[in-house]
Structure 1
């Protein structure tokens, strides 16, 4: 079994976390809840840690035990129905390291995302040939199946961030991202065109930090801050490197990265100025 398949799907863990919070808020022990809904304490533990899917019928049996309003009942019931399904990303197990699975699952569930990228275009908004060029550079022995899967994964993420239920996405890119000819000039023309189109989406705020802004705190740090449902909302920082993915969720750590993002945003051009810059760079290629 692949690493992707071994990891509990994010939605299942998110649901388990919330059910555990509700149980504790109600002042109930695992033994008491398990007895009320007719399961073992071991099964309840697996549900609350995301190791086992919970049947929607069991979730309904918890309603009399927990203080849950109608809106959250509906949300948790939907999560229970979805959590029993295989992880959305299991088909990408050949190209996606296990430590990156959580991020992609969270990205698909986020309410808002703040992204700073100093070196590459934000993944979901990369055009296919840009994706292929990056994949070949990182893994020269990639075969056509790997390349095709990498492109498909990016397109999958693109739909998550541009569909009817898309989160608010605030992106700050260093100008270096636009000037690095990944895949060659023709590829970058296409890439800059897509970024300009994405910048016009109602849920996307895309800004560029120009070279003349000079040095800034986040200059060498690519990261994303994700705001996750359900209540109480939780922010998580994702930091990616070539070797490992790191997740931070302590409030002080999240606050630091939000501060770095805000500082970077203050140096950035406005969205309309950023599109103008992308258009000029595209015309020069």
Structure 2
């Protein structure tokens, strides 16, 4: 793992090998893209290590560049990666967290999702994923949930917008089971779940979802995610800003006890 941006070393090596072979063949990224029927931005992302190459892409590029199996061999350790390149660094930090706090305003956090809810989320992705990609994504997400019961137990806190708990992702029965799951997890001694009610006119995290975590080494870092990727926040000054926001956010949300009562009521309405 590259210590600067979290890009897996295997992706960087593959990207460098592809670029070297492409340049030896005298092709631009656009010309290679045309030969393999992918976009130029796709080729560029692979060469920079930002995109994990799929097997069909590897086969096409290996043939187009006359690599004689070199790229296929180089891709073997990375085509089976469970997560997008930009997410791997976060997953590794999450697995070792001793403290983790999140705020979510679009979906129930992946650590709390039921399998049916997770399937519905992956099926809604655009461009559409194939069945194998959906299955792999769901299973990888569910595997992360071992954090909830890991020993020694981490301290986990979740703040969730009320409208997330009302959106019937997957349908009424899927949502009801998801709310029941939140109630179940919320009873764990190391977990707190809080609802940010829609009646709260404003709050401290209007700029979007965030995650704060502390590693085994006592290092504090934050993680923020957007449409096309994510970013780690490691500078102490910037982390302090997000930590202050989260502290105020928790005070503005319903207490864990009141949140459980609220979630129970929502489940009863379904």
Task: State the TM-score, normalized to the length of structure 1.
Answer: 0.66
Match of 1:235 in 2: 220
Change (3 A) 1:228 1:274: same
Q: 1:221 is paired with a residue of what secondary structure? A: coil
Q: Which runs of 5+ in 1 are unaligned?
A: 9-88
Select which of 105, 115, 119 maps to 1:118: 105
Assess, with a 3 A threshold, how the Cα gap between structure 1 residues 185 and 223 changes in structure 2: closer, same or farther.
same
Cα deviation for residue 177 of structure 1 reads: 1.2
Instruction: Give per-residue Cα distances to partners, 1:8-43, cap 9 Å, x unaligned.
Output: 9xxxxxxxxxxxxxxxxxxxxxxxxxxxxxxxxxxx
Structure 2 residue corresponding to 1:246, chosen from 219, 231, 238: 231
The yes-or-no answer on 1:257 pairing with 2:261 is no
1:138 counterpart SS class: coil
Deviation at 1:141, TM superposition (A): 2.6
Which of the residues 240, 255, 261 maps onto 1:270?
A: 255
Count of residues in correspondence between the two structures: 200
Per-residue CA deviations over 1:223-274 (Å, capped at 9, x if unaligned) read 10110122xx111110011201100111111111111111111111111110
Q: Structure 1 residue aligned with 2:10, among 6, 10, 26?
A: 6
- Spell out structure 1 runs of 4+ moving beyond 6 A: none
| Match in the other structure for 2:150 | 163
Match of 1:179 in 2: 166
Q: Structure 2 unaligned runs (5+)? A: 1-6, 13-76
Verify the 8 A CA contact 2:157 2:192 in the aligned structure 1.
yes
Which residue in 1 is equivalent to 2:15? Answer: none
Shift, 1:163, TM fit: 2.4
Task: Give the SS at the match of 1:247.
Answer: strand
| Contact residue 11 and residue 78 of structure 2 kept, 8 A | no
Q: Is 1:101 matched with 2:88?
A: yes
Q: Supply the RMSD in Å over aligned alpha carbons.
A: 2.0
**Separation in structure 2 between the aligned mates of residue 4 and residue 255 of structure 1, nearest angstrom:** 28
* 1:32-111 paired onto structure 2 within 5 Å: 93=81, 96-111=83-98
Contact 1:239 1:246 in 2 (8 A): yes
> What corresponds to 1:35 in structure 2?
none
* Structure 1 residue 92: Cα displacement: 5.7
Give, in whole Å, the separation in 2 of the partners of 1:117 and 1:176. 11
